[in-house]
Amino acid sequence: MAVQLRYQYRLYPDEAQRAALARLFGCVRTVWNDALVQVKPVKASNKLLGPPKARTAEGPYQRVPKSPDLSRELIAGAKKTPQREWLDQVSAVPLQQVLRDADKAWAAHEDSKTGQRKGPKVGHPKFKSRRDHRQSARFTANAKWKITPAGKLSLPKIGDVKVTWSRDLPSAPTSVTVVKDAAGRYFASFVVETGDEPLPETTPEVGIDLGLTHFAVLSDGTKIANPRFLRRAERKLKKAQRILSRKQEGSANRDKARVKVARAHAKVADARREFHHQLSTTLIRENQGIYVEDLAVKGLARTRLAKSVHDAGWAAFVHMLEYKARRCGRTFAKVSRFLPSSQTCSECWAVDAPKPLHVREWTCKACTTTHDRDVNSARVVLAAGRADR
């Protein structure tokens, strides 16, 4: 089955290219905001009239302008006016693409309100600011961008940008998004279509108990230490944050200090993501079946353990396991979060009483087996996952 994946690479634009990219990001932001100015009043007016079958006021519904209408007015027409003639200095494709993105954002908001879209509620599109520290622009195939024989990324009206190719693209990309993050780094994010890559079948299956003392404990007794990337970098982050707080608002020195804070946070996030990728890839390669508990991460993130829960990044790790298992032909399943895994004996399956967190070993009253709390939980998760399969 063909799936779309994103491959991200670091870009190193020169000074002229950084100026051109800043101009492009500004034009994309302007077109997005102009589109919201056109659409929001129409939607607000229609909302006052109520739904067609339960009108709350009299009056005609107005037609909500879509991306083709907005493109003619906000791009082609605006370029001919003195106020927006500078839109002609950048490629038109990212400007047209941001209008399509606005259509999708409004559709996601409407579907979320009516329940057609699953998951958390999606808010309405908001205005972009030049103070936003993450900027992006997307080039589709008709923008005629290309990868040069020298390995550079050629973008229209930007130039040939140096790329660090950390891995090969599996197929020809359909689009590329240029991103500037809060730390001032530039990335090229390619969308490629690729098929599944099944691994040779193997015998072992594993249950995983995620935690904070150990990041993961496996049903075979393996304990994987919790790296605690955020905790380890806390002193450096606090120092950088204090320096930032002392800088004058709007000054160049404050902006430099902000970038230092952003880079420190980015270093933590990158290290955590790399750890998740390496561990998830190892588990997928070595096991035919992977079973984890469906943790209520959002709930745990509202407790006194919030910082440690966010530092562990369980949700991102489980997501990696899930999509890698699907691509590699492995079995992946989540067991119910209401399973009493820390109270159930993995030998006789008797259910014991609840235990406080400081109890790391316990003895089953039914069969007198002494259990390591986390290893036992992982074994119960494994058995429950196999039973539900």
Catalytic sites, residue numbers: 209, 293, 374
Tokens of 358: 């400081």
SS3 annotation, the chain? CCEEEEEEEEEECCHHHHHHHHHHHHHHHHHHHHHHHHHHHHHHHHHHHCCCCCCCCCCCCCCCCCHHHHHHHHHHHHHHCCCCHHHHHCCHHHHHHHHHHHHHHHHHHHHHHHCCCCCCCCCCCCCCCCCCCCEEEEEEHHHCCEECCCCCEEECCCEEEEEECCCCCCCCCCEEEEEECCCCCEEEEEEEEECCCCCCCCCCEEEEEECCCEEEEECCCCEEECCCHHHHCHHHHHHHHHHHHCCCCCCHHHHHHHHHHHHHHHHHHHHHHHHHHHHHHHHHHHCCEEEEECCCHHHHCCCCCHHHHHHHCHHHHHHHHHHHHHHHCCEEEEECCCCCCCCECCCCCCECCCCCCCCCEEECCCCCCEEEHHHHHHHHHHHHHHHHC
Question: Max alpha carbon distance in the chain (Å)?
Answer: 84
Kindly give the pairing relationship between strand 289-293 and strand 331-335: parallel
What is the torsional sign of CA 366, 372, 374, 376?
Answer: negative
Question: Which residue's structure tokens are 């599944």?
Answer: 196
Q: What backbone phi and psi angles, to 5 degrees, belong to 112?
A: -65, -40
The one-letter amino acid at 342: S
| Residues 61/120/137/89 CA torsion (nearest 10 deg) | 30
